[in-house]
A and B are shown apart, each in its own frame.
Chain A
């Protein structure tokens, strides 16, 4: 079963606007990760936030984590056409086993 659930499933915005995607999960985590997937390609890691962190930044990306609500958000500021992709959150229990992914948010940036 899926651990994470992204919201919305699809998002279309104008270039230059900010895009916010949300992720909810069910069990305790060691960290939560966000990935981007361009059409026909593999997933690319964007950012990792640990369970004891509340906010993390990387360039135009800002991720928040609220472990009490079991939720995370990914904010992309000043969006560009190249940001068009699917975005996935993934929870990591910290063990050897793999990540548990949500179903993703498909983001379309209109030029």
Chain B
């Protein structure tokens, strides 16, 4: 398995609180991605990174920000969580574009 660790694995928090999810890789892959998975929607891209300090928005980026200060870590932040952000969040990595992605086991986030 690709060396990807997501933390925390589960989190319950209240509306309006800030939340940060972490994705850590040991593969030294250039590209990192955050997706959310919701019933009836499949996986949707939130943000992605193509290098240290290089990030861009995905399909559903509103309400989320990311940071990548070093190759191995990609952080996803919900500045003020809303109930609509209750979801399962997946991080993925890949060595180069047009190659397969490798996924972490996800973070189940509940916003009450």
Contacts and interface: CB of A to CB of B under 8 A. Distances in A.
Contacts of A101: 35, 42-44
From B31, B33, B42, name the one whose CB has the most chain A CB atoms within 10 angstroms.
B42
A41 B98 contact: no
A95 B105 contact: no
Contacts of B48: 96-98
How many chain B residues sit at the interface, stated as a range, is: 20 to 34
Contacts of A48: 99-100
Interface in A62-111: 88, 90, 92, 94-104
A45 interface: yes
How many chain A residues sit at the interface, stated as a range, is: 20 to 34
B100 A45 contact: yes
A42 B105 contact: yes
B74 interface: no
B97 A94 contact: yes
Given A42-B106, A96-B31, A97-B58, A103 B40 contact: yes
30 contacts: A2-B41, A2-B42, A30-B98, A31-B98, A35-B103, A40-B105, A40-B106, A41-B106, A42-B90, A42-B104, A42-B105, A42-B106, A43-B43, A43-B101, A43-B103, A44-B103, A45-B100, A45-B102, A48-B100, A94-B97, A97-B45, A97-B58, A98-B35, A98-B101, A99-B101, A100-B59, A101-B35, A101-B42, A101-B43, A101-B44
